[in-house]
Amino acid sequence: MHYIVWLSNKMHNSTPVEFNQEHINSALLTLGQSLTLHRKQVLKATQQEFSLLLGISEPTLRKMEKGDDGVSIGIWLKAFQLMQVDQSVVSASRPDSLILMSMFSEAESRSPSLKEKSHG
């Protein structure tokens, strides 16, 4: 409880944080594109099938794939699990801006490439 009071006082006395919305939008778009590629190429699943796997509606999946910022982190974490993204990279010990890139480079290294699928 003391922490909440401290945080409330700290937030009240500080200036608002300025977020780089362009960077956020770009990261969300990258996440959405990676999700779409994984769904289509690795899982070979339709939006309907993948949304059922995640336990979400198709409109929510479409929002994710478009990079909409209104989808909860819990749903994204379920998607990462289905994509076999190493959950250890989603930790407070790695707050750097490259976390998204490391997550997807690790996932892509475990997934067959387009060339392998088209020739094999």
The number of domains in the chain is: 1
pLDDT tens string 47-94: 999 999 999 999 999 999 999 999 999 999 999 888 887 655 555 445
Structure tokens, 35: 């999700």
Q: Is residue 17 part of a domain?
A: no
What is the token pair recorded at 92?
């407070």
In this structure, is residue 67 part of a structural domain?
yes
Work out the burial of residue 29: count CB atoms within 10 Å of its CB; fewer than 13 is exposed, 13-18 middle, 19 or more buried: middle
Distance CA 81, CA 84 (A): 5
Residue 3 lies in a domain: no
HSE-CB for 57 with a 13 A CA cutoff: 4
- In this predicted structure, the answer to whether residue 112 has a pLDDT above a threshold of 60 is no
**Which domain CATH number covers 77?**
1.10.260.40
Q: For residue range 27-46, list pLDDT tens digits in order.
A: 899 999 999 999 999 999 99
Residue 32 in any domain: the answer is yes
Is 35 within 8 Å of 85 (Cβ atoms)? no
Give the residue, 41 or 3, on which the prediction is more confident. 41
> Does residue 8 sit within a domain?
no
In this structure, are residues 75 and 56 in contact, taking their beta carbons and an 8 Å threshold?
A: yes
Which one is predicted more confidently, 67 or 111? 67
Q: What pLDDT, on a 0 to 100 scale, did the predictor assign at position 61? A: 98
